[in-house]
Structure 1
Amino acid sequence: MVLEHALLSVVPGQEEDFEAAFHEASAIIAGMPGFGRLTLSGCLERPGTYLLLVEWDRLEDHTVGFRGSPEYQRWRRLLHRFYEPFPVVEHFEHVLTA
């Protein structure tokens, strides 16, 4: 399992529209091969900042499969206009559970 991590900074005043668009976009990503689950959390200390965590079976399921798909173009159209600056997306492998 690979964990995708992104901190999403949403343009101030656009949070409600972003959350509605993300709800729609979540159905897009959920149908992709290799998708496990996702969580979107809002930051308590920094309104407008969201933590996106997505579980994938393999790194390539995200970087090649999803990002190279027509579905990703729909995802982009729904969400990318909300980000300022554009988020850095990183991938992690599990090391330890306590």
Structure 2
Amino acid sequence: MIFEIAHIQIKTGSHAAFEAAVTRAVPLFRSAQGCESMRLERSIEHADGYRLVVGWTTLEDHTVHFRGSEAFQSWRALVGEFFAAPPQVEHMNTVVVGF
């Protein structure tokens, strides 16, 4: 499994609406090919900072299948208005599991 980590900065004062929009988007990820998990984390130090962490079976499940889907367009329609800047996305492999 690979993890997509999207670093998201939202517009100040839109936390509740953004989090509600992400909640509405959960079914889009749940039904996406190869999507194994999805969670949203909010920064404690930087109140407008979030990390969307999505587990995908393969990189292509995210970069090809999801990004090329209507579900991705729906995702962006739900949350795009809250972005203060374009999300910064990276893909990670787990290399050490400590415990």
Is TM-score (shorter-chain normalized) higher than 0.5?
yes
Counterpart of 1:12, as a letter, is T
Counterpart of 2:27, as a letter, is A
Q: TM-score, normalised by structure 2?
A: 0.95
Distance apart, 1:39 and its partner CA? 1.4
Matches within 5 A, 1:26-65: 26-65=26-65
Give 2:66's aligned residue: 66
Please list every run of 5 or more consecutive structure 2 residues that lacks an aligned counterpart in the other structure: none
User: The residue matched to 1:80 in structure 2 has which SS?
Assistant: helix
Please list every run of 5 or more consecutive structure 1 residues that lacks an aligned counterpart in the other structure: none
Distance apart, 1:18 and its partner CA? 0.3
- Superposition misfits of 4+ residues, deviation over 4 angstroms: none
CA distance in 2, matches of 1:38, 1:29: 7
How many pairs were matched up? 98
Give 1:86's aligned residue: 86
CA distance in 2, matches of 1:76, 1:20: 14
User: The residue matched to 2:63 in structure 1 has which SS?
Assistant: helix
Deviations, residues 13-49 of structure 1 (Å, cap 9, x unaligned): 1111000000001111111010000111111111121
User: The residue matched to 1:53 in structure 2 has which SS?
Assistant: strand
